[in-house]
Structure 1
Amino acid sequence: MKNLFSIVLLFTALISSAQEKKETLKPQIVEVSCGECQFGLKGKGCDLAVRIDGKAYFVDGTKIDEHGDAHAKDGFCEAVRKAEVTGKIVNNRFQVSSFTLLPEQK
């Protein structure tokens, strides 16, 4: 009985330590634009997307209009820009946890 209690206690400690580990996401510089207008993704309107390693993903966690007028000369529907992002791909969508649009390079 004492051994069974020790095993249960050890198992509980292992589960607790596994749950405490957090995934560390590294910031990366990616191309960002309108998924439909610039990256050729199928959608129902203008939606923000990122392109990572040549593949485009719609973004969850920020919206296209939160970063200026999408239809302006330098907007996401007219131009591909760069941003520093942190996040991960889940179900073929990019779940953003941080998004910083970089200045336009001329």
Structure 2
Amino acid sequence: MKKLILPFVLLISITLTAQEKKEAPKTQIVEASCGQCQFGMEGHGCELAVRIDGKSYFVDGTSIDSHGDAHANDGFCASIRKAAVVGEIKNNRFVVSAFKLLPEEKK
């Protein structure tokens, strides 16, 4: 019986460790902008979107107006910016749990 318990405990331990690693949120750098103005997405007015691996998603969890004036010269409707984000794609939208706009790169 003891010989069966040790392998079983090891198997459960390995499985739990693998699940914890898979579920840990990771920060990724994405392009962020107005979905309609810069990414050509169909929508109802200016709305924040991110582009991940060439595909654009509207964002839930933060808004276009939470990161400055969208219609300013450096705003989301006039430029595409880089952002560090944590989140996941659900129902073809990016549900963000963290969003940090990165400083613009010098040209």
Shorter-chain TM-score bucket reads 0.7 to 0.9
Report the count of equivalent residues.
88
Displacement over 2 Å in runs of 4+: none
1:1-106 alignment runs, 5 A limit: 23-106=23-106
Unaligned runs of 5+ in 1: 1-13
Find the aligned partners of 2:62 and 2:93 in 1 and give their Cα distance. Answer: 12
Q: CA RMSD in A?
A: 1.4
One-letter amino acid of the structure 2 residue matched with residue 34 of structure 1: C
Percentage of pairs with the same residue: 68
Find the aligned partners of 2:24 and 2:37 in 1 and give their Cα distance. Answer: 32
Q: CA deviation at 1:24?
A: 1.2
Unaligned runs of 5+ in 2: 1-11
TM-score normalized by structure 1?
Answer: 0.79
Find the aligned partners of 2:76 and 2:88 in 1 and give their Cα distance. Answer: 21
One-letter amino acid of the structure 1 residue matched with residue 59 of structure 2: V
- Secondary structure of 1:64's aligned partner: coil
